[in-house]
Structure 1
Amino acid sequence: MASYIRLTLLIVLLGSLFPVTLSAEPRQPLPVEAYGRLPDMSRVKLSPDGRYLSMLRNIDGYLVLTVSDLVNGKTQGLIKADNLEITLNWYEWANNSTLLFGVGNTKWQRGVKYTHTQMFKMTLGEDREPKLAVRLKSANGYVPQFLDRVIHFLPEEPNHVLISADIDTPGSPSVYKVNVMRGTYRRVYRARSDIYHWVTDRQARVRIGLGLDDTRIFYRLMDIEGEFIRNIWDYEIFEAPDIHVLGFDLDPNILYIRADSEGRYGIFRVDLRDPLLKRELLLAHDTYDVGGGLIYSPKSGKAVGLSDGSVYWDEAYLKLQTALDSALPEAKNRIISISDDLNHYVLYTESPSFTGDYLLGNRKAGTLDYLGSRYPQVDESRYAGKETLRFKARDGLEIEGFLTRPKGDEHPHPLATIILPHGGPMSVDIADFDYWSEWFANRGYAVFQPNFRGSAGYGYEFAMQSIGDWGGAMQHDLEDAAQFLVERGTSDPQRICIAGASYGGYAALMAAVSQADTFKCAASFAGVSDLPGMMRNRRQFTNYDVFERQMGSDRDEWIKRSPLRHADRITIPVLLIHGSDDKIVPVAQSREMADALRSENKPVTYIELEHGDHNLSAEAHRLQTLEAMARFFDQHLML
């Protein structure tokens, strides 16, 4: 830890040698690259033996998977991806020298774009290029959509993993044991009717099947021999709080789940031998849902804590976390990777003052060395941070949101403001760094991200208010958020715009239809414009029934709440941006919206990102989108 502290002091001392950096004169905004580039480093991991350190580095817009030998100091690049036609979805150490990674690309079928994934492997000192980890034997012409769904790494058999895939029965996944070194596989558990996902215990035995029958969710429990015992939970989606299986403990009878706890989701331990499946509450919060995945000790194999907030119930991990929090106070510190002997670890730390740093720890040596930052240009002097605010909607419902003001704006005055609703809509914004709000604040805007009704994180009842409510009370919450900011003196009522992506883009377009008195312009990235069109598109996919349950079945309401059908009512300027390879919201949603606005002679700008996806995965698309939105807001807000 002393190493990191000494480095921090050195930076401060060096800074004092250059008075110009301490000038009180206003500085120019940072360039778009400071926020819009892909993170400088991400997904930092240690090999199981702690010898190798891997990470994704941003090199000229490419994500390059690099591996550093901590013994001899040598670093090599293994693969690179531009996240355009090919995306690097995940990677993991299979053993001390072999890395597995999932790669996705776009396919077409019956005029519908979808994602196809494969798993590759590279062994240090052996492979010069990626090799397929699963080589299909089937000659019937059928290729599964997903071939990278690892459900269990096998530490006792380090050249093998278990995957879930529908190789033998299209649409119904079986479990296969894969030799990743050879690309061979054999089926170890056969597909069952309506089961779409399998959960193994810590001994790598298939124990739970997650089923979906139209809109009914059910969980099937198997014994250690794989024989069906009984259904343990069963409910209609959106009609009861959902249950999420986190995983087993080392004891194959103990299961951890996320479920409702007096109005908020908490973490429970369940003994599967109990006929009543009594739940033992481990973690809960009065205001927020508790989430995250289980953390397992690579040494003992036991579940030791929860990744959300780095909450531990294991004494050894608690002791380490307490020491880290003492050394780096006022920061959120998470151990994101640790060697099998628990000596070497990677720490990710972030706070309202910095965007997120990676550090390499050595417990025996007592050191904590700085590796790098996700966004190195956005240092403490530039990071605006977020203020948590709460306001009452018109019906009295309390809503939480996060305000980002320009850095150094020490004398509050009404600002040009952007209301920035999240996607989902069952998603949530949090107080951590995000490049959208920071970029706009860097340009001089106040940015408010309200967690409108229907957002996740505030309990089942709050989230369920999104069901069938697109364009309804959720939309009113955004207008109420803007009014709240005006009343508290944060926002200039004549200079408020709205922007968002996915559902947030839909909300921006609906604001252009019905809330032009409040919002002076609207910007949509990958936004939904036509609900009937989305429903037609979803008929091509297996989750149509669930989507219909979420949206409601009243076609007249879909039309009423579709911005495309009301282009004639829009009077404010609109910016539309969409990726041509978006598999979540088809690009036709923005193309048709642009055509409708043009036909009505409405002010609209449309930008299509070639090979762009739903998540702005490619750096060039992120930069283009941020620049276009900045120009749009500067034109219509900086009067």
Structure 2
Amino acid sequence: MTRIIFSLFILLLSSVAQAEPLPTEAFGLLPQSEQVKLSPDGKKFSYLFNYQGKTLIGVTNIETGKNHFIVRTDNQKFKIGWYKWANNDLLLVSADYPVQRGGLKYTEARLLKIRADGTGTVDNVLRLKQKERSPQFQNNIIDLLPDEPNYILMALDLKIANRPDVYKVNLSSKVSRKLVYRSKSYISHWLTDRQHRVRLGYGRDETKIFYRLHDLETDEWRNIWEYEIFDAPDITPLGFGLNPSHLYIRAIHNDRYAIFMVDVSSKQLIRTLVYADENYDIEGSLIYSKKTNDVIGVYHGEANDAKHFFDPDYAKFQQALNNAIPDAYNNIASVSDDENKYILFTSNPQSPGAYYLGDRKEKRLDFILDEYPLLFQKSLPGKTKITFKARDGLKIEGYVTLPYDDVEPKNAALIIPHGGPMARNYGGFDWFSQFFASRGYTILEPNFRGSSGYGFEFEMASIQKWGGAMQDDLADAAHWLTENYPVDKQGICILGASYGGYAAMMAAVKQQDVFRCAASFAGVSDLEYIVRKARRFTNYKVVKKQIGDDSDMLEQNSPVNFAKEINIPLLLIHGDKDRVVDVYHSREMFEELEDLGKQVEYIELENGNHHLEIEANRLKTLNAFDEFLSKHLQADTKL
């Protein structure tokens, strides 16, 4: 009944005020619910719940309906990254803490444990013994060991930095753990097979990636692959099949990343192609059956439901869900060990997402949680996939989002480049672009060259190419938009975060004839600083290979060095606790522009991180963007 009353309230509210834009809170509040998961026995489900700027983990007893919260954070002392059910009674929580030691700023990840019934306290899984070092990453679970529910396997570098040993950790004890495998040179990650044996170690020696396999027949470790980072063959191990000789990998096939099964019992490492898409990379992880313990599919962002099942029974069940909820993205987010109960996440253009509890025996599907309740039953404009040709003829994909039907559209648009740059945009709901569409703007999110998802060669176009052809693609996207949509070519702003923020600043330097204004959140302004700061971290040579080490080139592609040439309005926003792109980048850019009397605004977010995970900062950022765009795109930009 509560749900029905709430729904009617939203409908009545929209009927009397359709012309008014939705409040910033409809998009800027953290998702009300996330990461909904079933306990192994299917008797309880848990979820992240965001309320009044705080994030909580809730647990609901399905039979009784009783609900309680067991973990709380304000997202400032620490942020919950992910959590898992260790067994039916215990949850493991990965928490990210911003730290500063010895002049270095970085994030420390810790693993917490808490009883699902809320009794007891939230404790660190890792309790250091005398003379043990404190690892930066204390959350590296290798295997949950379902046959031993009170134990897990973890990789921890307690003795030598960046040389993790494998430990069997007793979750019922505060200090009990047993060494399983000693560290090996340069191995930073470990992988078990489905029989829970440590089988694969992989890592990096400066810029060389290598993989070592534990051979079951000889009981020895042997090298199976090695290559230079950002070069072919670029192999990623995904996991073992039920057959311990079957290792699934992602590797290049006709310039696209595909899924192969490798017979590791063969010295020749014979590959069998399992799944490929001739147009897109397969980027996701493997999907396992809880009942058979074998691989049944893989996540694929370009599939209709972001999944492709190899197993016909699971494919049939997925199709049944699609028939029951047509024209929607339907994703089974969690299942019980017997695979009877499941959590379904579903969304469509009329809904950004909701969670349902399914029961296969009873053939029931019951609503449990919304993601964005303030957008409930609001008809949202979907993303339209488009293609255009860059000036050199390269085909570029992107997504266009049109203004909301019930707001007055502006004859103005935003080009929003993604971060990374070796990342990409997808179709489907996202709160960021939807916010600007609700304000009447047309949005184009281009997957410029250097983006992931379109093949090895396409992605590697980002290596040491910041400010070059990738930047030209954004101007070409703007030109294409004005030719195909009712957008004034004098009414386009570029706005982005992280690498997208860099691209916005670089556009203010190089593309003032295309963009009327530019806005950056957590953007990179100084490439030389990025490389210089990396000297104190283990990825220094990787950073040099990715961005470059030619000082002249880095200087020429750093917008902070060309503040004098910027003559369009620029907005800079940055969190003071950003551990990915240091706040230095926006502070220096602002000071350079302010000293020259340029049109620049700067907002620094207190305790802000790189991902806008503090709700007050997210709202402040959206409102600042909205005000900035209204100021510089409002005049003569309405239809």
TM score, norm. by length of structure 2: 0.95
Instruction: Tell me whether 1:539 sits opposite 2:530 in the alignment.
Output: no
1:149 equivalent in structure 2: 140
Instruction: Tell me whether 1:507 sits opposite 2:503 in the alignment.
Output: yes
1:179-194 alignment to 2 at 5 Å? Answer: 179-183=170-174, 184-194=176-186
1:636 pairs, out of 623, 632, 637, with: 632
2:450 equivalent in structure 1: 454
Name the CA distance, whole Å, in 2 between partners of 1:347 and 1:59: 22
SS in 2 for 1:456: coil
1:301 pairs, out of 284, 288, 293, with: 293
Instruction: Tell me whether 1:35 sits opposite 2:27 in the alignment.
Output: yes
Q: Deviations over 1:120-165 (max 9, x none)?
A: 111234733201212111335x211111110100100000101111
Over 3 Å counting, the alpha-carbon distance change for 1:228 and 1:255 in structure 2 is same
Shift of 1:326: 1.0
Give the letter for the 1:375 counterpart. Y
Instruction: Tell me whether 1:333 sits opposite 2:325 in the alignment.
Output: no
Name the CA distance, whole Å, in 2 between partners of 1:107 and 1:472: 35
Instruction: Tell me whether 1:214 sits opposite 2:206 in the alignment.
Output: yes
1:271 equivalent in structure 2: 263
1:586 equivalent in structure 2: 582
SS in 1 for 2:374: coil
Q: Is the contact made by 1:414 and 1:492 (CA closer than 8 Å) also made in structure 2?
A: no
1:404 pairs, out of 401, 406, 425, with: 401
Q: Is the contact made by 1:389 and 1:402 (CA closer than 8 Å) also made in structure 2?
A: yes
Q: Is the contact made by 1:34 and 1:375 (CA closer than 8 Å) also made in structure 2?
A: yes
Name the CA distance, whole Å, in 1 between partners of 2:51 and 2:322: 32
Q: Is the contact made by 2:70 and 2:118 (CA closer than 8 Å) also made in structure 1?
A: no
Q: Is the contact made by 2:79 and 2:96 (CA closer than 8 Å) also made in structure 1?
A: yes
Between 484-493 and 622-631, the greater mean CA deviation after superposition:
484-493
Shift of 1:315: 3.3
Name the CA distance, whole Å, in 2 between partners of 1:136 and 1:630: 48
2:311 equivalent in structure 1: 314
SS in 1 for 2:188: strand
1:368 equivalent in structure 2: 365
Q: Deviations over 1:279-325 (max 9, x none)?
A: 21111111111121112122221111113322212233223212111
Shift of 1:338: 0.5
2:239 equivalent in structure 1: 247
Instruction: Tell me whether 1:158 sits opposite 2:155 in the alignment.
Output: no
Shift of 1:410: 11
Shift of 1:446: 0.8
1:3 equivalent in structure 2: none
Q: Is the contact made by 1:133 and 1:181 (CA closer than 8 Å) also made in structure 2?
A: no
Q: Is the contact made by 1:151 and 1:200 (CA closer than 8 Å) also made in structure 2?
A: yes
Q: Deviations over 1:167-215 (max 9, x none)?
A: 1222201111111121321210000001111111111111111121111
1:494 equivalent in structure 2: 490
Give the letter for the 1:71 counterpart. E
Q: Deviations over 1:21-60 (max 9, x none)?
A: 557x842111111001110100000000001110011121
Instruction: Tell me whether 1:50 sits opposite 2:48 in the alignment.
Output: no
1:545-556 alignment to 2 at 5 Å? Answer: 545-556=541-552
Compute the RMSD of aligned alpha carbons: 2.1
1:13-162 alignment to 2 at 5 Å? Answer: 26-125=18-117, 127-139=119-131, 142-162=133-153
Name the CA distance, whole Å, in 2 between partners of 1:606 and 1:182: 49
Instruction: Tell me whether 1:599 sits opposite 2:595 in the alignment.
Output: yes
Over 3 Å counting, the alpha-carbon distance change for 1:410 and 1:445 in structure 2 is closer
2:189 equivalent in structure 1: 197
Name the CA distance, whole Å, in 2 between partners of 1:386 and 1:15: 27
Shift of 1:259: 0.9
1:477 equivalent in structure 2: 473
Name the CA distance, whole Å, in 2 between partners of 1:79 and 1:428: 33
Over 3 Å counting, the alpha-carbon distance change for 1:485 and 1:258 in structure 2 is same
2:460 pairs, out of 458, 464, 468, with: 464
Name the CA distance, whole Å, in 2 between partners of 1:74 and 1:295: 31
Shift of 1:351: 2.4
SS in 2 for 1:491: coil
Shift of 1:20: 7.7
TM score, norm. by length of structure 1: 0.95
Q: Is the contact made by 2:68 and 2:118 (CA closer than 8 Å) also made in structure 1?
A: no
Over 3 Å counting, the alpha-carbon distance change for 1:84 and 1:126 in structure 2 is closer
Name the CA distance, whole Å, in 1 between partners of 2:633 and 2:94: 43
Shift of 1:110: 2.5
SS in 1 for 2:491: strand
Shift of 1:228: 3.4
Shift of 1:7: 12
Name the CA distance, whole Å, in 2 between partners of 1:75 and 1:376: 19
Give the letter for the 2:320 counterpart. A
Aligned length: 629
Shift of 1:241: 4.0
SS in 1 for 2:126: coil
Name the CA distance, whole Å, in 2 between partners of 1:21 and 1:126: 40
Name the CA distance, whole Å, in 2 between partners of 1:82 and 1:321: 37
Over 3 Å counting, the alpha-carbon distance change for 1:239 and 1:307 in structure 2 is closer
Name the CA distance, whole Å, in 1 between partners of 2:383 and 2:37: 29
Name the CA distance, whole Å, in 1 between partners of 2:79 and 2:11: 42
2:303 equivalent in structure 1: none
Name the CA distance, whole Å, in 1 between partners of 2:448 and 2:89: 47
Q: Among the aligned pairs, what percent are the same residue?
A: 47
Gaps spanning 5+ residues in structure 2: where? 301-305
Q: Is the contact made by 2:410 and 2:440 (CA closer than 8 Å) also made in structure 1?
A: no
Between 496-505 and 292-301, the greater mean CA deviation after superposition:
292-301
Shift of 1:231: 1.4
Name the CA distance, whole Å, in 2 between partners of 1:637 and 1:344: 51
1:520 equivalent in structure 2: 516
1:172 equivalent in structure 2: 163
Name the CA distance, whole Å, in 2 between partners of 1:241 and 1:171: 25
SS in 1 for 2:536: coil
Name the CA distance, whole Å, in 1 between partners of 2:521 and 2:218: 46
SS in 2 for 1:507: helix
Shift of 1:342: 0.9
Name the CA distance, whole Å, in 1 between partners of 2:198 and 2:14: 59
Q: Deviations over 1:443-489 (max 9, x none)?
A: 11111100000000000010011011100000000001001111123
Q: Is the contact made by 2:32 and 2:50 (CA closer than 8 Å) also made in structure 1?
A: yes
2:555 equivalent in structure 1: 559
1:251-262 alignment to 2 at 5 Å? Answer: 251-262=243-254
Over 3 Å counting, the alpha-carbon distance change for 1:334 and 1:223 in structure 2 is same
SS in 2 for 1:594: helix
